Amino acid sequence: MGEALMTLENAVRANGDLKLVAYMMAGHPNKKKSIEVGKRLAGSGVAALEIGIPFSDPLADGPVIQRAGQVALENGMTVAGALEVAAAIAGEGVPIVLMTYINPILSHDPRRFAAEAAQAGVAGVIVPDLPVEESEPVAGWLRAASLDTIFMVAPTTAEDRAESICERSSGFVYCVTVTGITGARKELPEGMKELFALVRRHTSLPVAAGFGISRPEHMKAMRGVADAAVVGSAIVDDIDKGKDPVVLVKELLKACR
């Protein structure tokens, strides 16, 4: 693992700006293409790159990311293949975060997954369907391999639960800005600032927001409120249509500053 890599926590912490975390699906539209696109995204000025591992039952994903995962699976993408994609992109110098569901980790073997992810140069892991209350021993194995464990807080999360999520998170805390699935939306939801304030009461980690964020005006609205914004569906949609997602990323980055 390259020591030169900035820690995930430092990379996504706002510094008078808003950081951008880009999301892509490993193996979409195919392995070779996803490595090419990932390298370009990693070099585009984003603070970190989130790489999805495709899964047949992605309960947090909206139609765009679901479809990308389906295409990746049909083209033979596996957990091992996704780790190879991550390793190929990790050399570009931005922290890589894997986003996966618990089933692929369990079927790969959690200890082996943790070791191989660390070896691939991955910085952290997000598992949306792993509740913090049931996160051991998997989270412990990830941490033992020096991987950040990033847990999610939703608008429906009670304060005492938010506190325990913050305690067990490292790297950053992921605020899900909507109740429901991923997908680009026109408006950012009400109550978002309250959610960030709740999380900040319980942690000094950076706060990143995701789900539904896709436009420059969303970035402007979050500057000074969150540390980072995660943009997924809008980027994956561009990749799906054969467009260059870096054009969108550059436009979003302008609004972050």
Positions marked active-site: 50, 61
Q: Which amino acid is at 198?
A: L
- Sequential DSSP letters for 147-197: -EEE-EE-TT--HHHHHHHHHH--S-EEEE-SSS-----SSPPTTHHHHHH
With residue 107 as reference, give the H or E element that holds it. helix 102-108
Supply angle C-alpha 147, 151, 154, rounded to 5: 165
Preceding amide of 128 cis, omega within 30: no
With residue 141 as reference, give the H or E element that holds it. helix 138-144
Q: Are 193 and 226 in contact (CB under 8 A)?
A: no
Q: Are 255 and 19 in contact (CB under 8 A)?
A: no
210 φ, ψ to 5°? -150, 175
- Sequential DSSP letters for 8-35: HHHHHS-SSS-EEEEEEETTSS-HHHHH
Between CA 246 and CA 189 the distance in angstroms is 26
Residue 80, classed as helix, strand or coil, is helix
